[in-house]
Amino acid sequence: MNDFDFNKTTKSIQHISDWFEKNQCNSLLVTSLFDDIPGVSFFIKDRDHRLVMVNAGFLPRLGLSQEELFGKSDFDIFPARLAEHFRRDDREIFESKKPKLNILELVFNSQGLPDWYLTNKYPLFNDRKDVIGLMGTVRPYGDGEKKELKWERDDEIGRAVNHIRNHFRGEISISDLVRISGLTHRKLHRGFVELFGIAPMQFITRTRIEAACDDLLSSSNKLSVIAKENGFYDQSSFTQLFRRQMKITPLKYRKQKGFI
């Protein structure tokens, strides 16, 4: 979203807000709209990163009521790795006063499989144009009969992503993805870059590193074991790739988070 589009959107939102205030109508009633959109979760946070509200569709994911959620931060609810990502994005929005769109988040389910979620976040302003918080939506990556996200229109990329989801802990080659997707090497690469902003092998590496981050903070396994269980060739390559993405070594990451 460029500056022109964002300024136009901000003016439109202000116009709607003025209309609600003039007619003495509670604008928060609009948030109930999200309860009827399948798969979409909605949330509002204050400037201190505390949850103010979420829609009913978000509650089952968190296992808490609205009253229990109020005032909690991401670090009270999510694994440290995810909470750190959320906090970093929030701070960027507060500083830039601009939205962050199409954020691809990886969440690992109880079976250890990665589920991707697409998040959009928007700053919330007061009458003085100060950022007082943010609001956002979260939508799950859909496969099978779910066709919720924009890249789901591309069945070939969808097959490649699903293969990565189920096999990222083992060996995956570009030739595997070419064969499974039915795309040429060039079209596969272009599709991943257009949809995710990174090449297929970078996408695989990112998935493995995110999984390793969870393991580093939730198990006492040695680095060599974590490397092997998450599809890395050896501990050396794991450390090198981890540092390249996380700007810190796996051991320092673990120590920094107070695990050891």
- If asked whether residues 168 and 82 sit together in one domain, one would say no
| Torsion of Cα atoms, 84 then 190 then 5 then 3, to 10° | 60
Q: Report the number of distinct structural domains present in the chain.
A: 2
d(CA 114, CA 107): 6
- If asked whether residues 62 and 165 sit together in one domain, one would say no
Please tell me the pTM assigned to this model: 0.65
Whether 146 maps to a domain, the answer reads no
60-109 pLDDT tens trace: 767 778 788 888 999 898 877 788 889 999 999 999 999 998 887 877 76
- If asked whether residues 15 and 115 sit together in one domain, one would say yes
- If asked whether residues 232 and 130 sit together in one domain, one would say no
- If asked whether residues 128 and 162 sit together in one domain, one would say no
Q: How confident is the model at residue 152 (pLDDT cuts 50, 70, 90)?
A: very low
Contact call for residues 127 and 119 (beta carbons, < 8 A): no
- Domain range for residue 73? 3-140
Q: What's phi and psi for 133, nearest 5 deg?
A: 170, -160
- If asked whether residues 95 and 166 sit together in one domain, one would say no
**Measuring CA to CA, how many Å separate 239 from each of 40, 170, 200?**
36, 18, 20
- For residues 182 and 196, which has the higher predicted lDDT (pLDDT)? 182
Whether 194 maps to a domain, the answer reads yes
Classified as helix, coil or strand, 46 is strand
Q: How confident is the model at residue 10 (pLDDT cuts 50, 70, 90)?
A: low
Tell which of 140, 163, 192 closes a domain: 140
- If asked whether residues 98 and 177 sit together in one domain, one would say no
- If asked whether residues 174 and 115 sit together in one domain, one would say no
